[in-house]
Amino acid sequence: MDSSVAPLGPEIRDSFVEVPGGSVFVRRWGLGESGARSPIILLHDSLGSVEQWREFPAALAQATAREVVAYDRLGFGKSTQRTGRPSLDFITEETETFFPAIQHALGITRFVLLGHSVGGAMAVLIAASQSDACDAVVTEAAQASVEPRTLAGIRAAKVQFDTPEQFEKIAKWHGEKARWVLDAWTEVWLSPEFCSWSIDQHLGKVRRPVLAIHGDLDEYGSAEFPRRIASGVSGPSELALLERCGHVPHRERQEEVLRLISSFLTRHAIDASASLVSNHRRKRP
């Protein structure tokens, strides 16, 4: 065989899943290659979509030898367009309504969660509500509450995306949904009624291993967020604060993030038949 030929990446399969209010776009990497290992389900950020994960899911599938699954939340990417603004309880609604519908349609009984930004908060709530099905959680640049830094970053982004050339960067991924996507983020998070939101009441219900990854230059949240997550969960937890890194570690420091996640899952022997014995392990400092 010609050694100059690059190895093939994991198999990719696309589909649509019906949920209340429409259909969501789903992409799976490495279907059938993970054996007994539970798949990693990716939860995107406030402006995110499946396509915006770029090459990371394929690399993650190869690094962990697991299937990786990502979906566009309703109103984002290739999923059904929405008209009304999300409610202040949109994170809980994703946890209780949309995620279970997708999980059931795909036949996924056990899973590992990896959530970026607000997707990290969603991962915490899902793990808290499905402790028997969730094998582990990775939060990346996740918000744990609404900090002044969070609001300042969103206000700055709102001004930035007000220019046509910057707004086009959102439209590239979301098409005619772009305005809804931007407003769904900025107007909900900047609402005075949302300022008291936090994930604190859910953290203690998370019994499975948690890895909290955060950049020290994250413009939407301080290092207090991952510390709060790691110290608040009931199961084993690890914290990785990346130096000179902003809000998108999986893009800015992809290789390091892949190593962190792969090592974390290996240390905790996470697989589809994992027992609850690991719940009683001592937390890492």
pLDDT value for 35: 58
Pick the CATH number of 12-145+198-265 from 3.30.1240.10, 3.40.50.1820, 3.40.50.720, 3.40.190.10: 3.40.50.1820
Residues 41, 43, 47: CA angle, nearest 5 degrees: 150
Alpha-carbon distance of 130 to 110, in angstroms, equals: 9
pLDDT value for 278: 38
Per-domain boundaries in the chain: 12-145+198-265
Give the sheet arrangement for strand 111-116, strand by strand.
12-19, 22-29, 68-71, 40-43, 111-116, 134-140, 210-215, 237-242
Alpha-carbon distance of 37 to 65, in angstroms, equals: 8
Look at phi and psi of residue 245 and say left if phi exceeds 0, alpha if psi is from -120 to 50, else beta. beta
CA 48 centroid distance within chain: 10
CA neighbours closer than 13 Å in the CB half-sphere of residue 169: 10
pLDDT value for 83: 87
CB distance 54 to 28 below 8 Å: no
Q: Which two tokens stand for residue 93?
A: 């609604």
Alpha-carbon distance of 141 to 91, in angstroms, equals: 16
Alpha-carbon distance of 85 to 103, in angstroms, equals: 24
Q: pTM, whole model, 2 decimals?
A: 0.91
pLDDT value for 270: 64
CB distance 137 to 156 below 8 Å: no
CB distance 37 to 271 below 8 Å: yes
Which residues in the chain land under pLDDT 70?
Answer: 1-8, 31-35, 269-285
pLDDT value for 1: 39
Alpha-carbon distance of 212 to 230, in angstroms, equals: 6
- φ, ψ of residue 230 to 5 degrees: the values are -65, -35
> Quick one: which of 221, 240, 224 has its CA closest to 232?
224
pLDDT value for 32: 56
Q: Which two tokens stand for residue 74?
A: 């309703």
pLDDT value for 8: 63
> Quick one: which of 180, 186, 195 has its CA closest to 154?
186
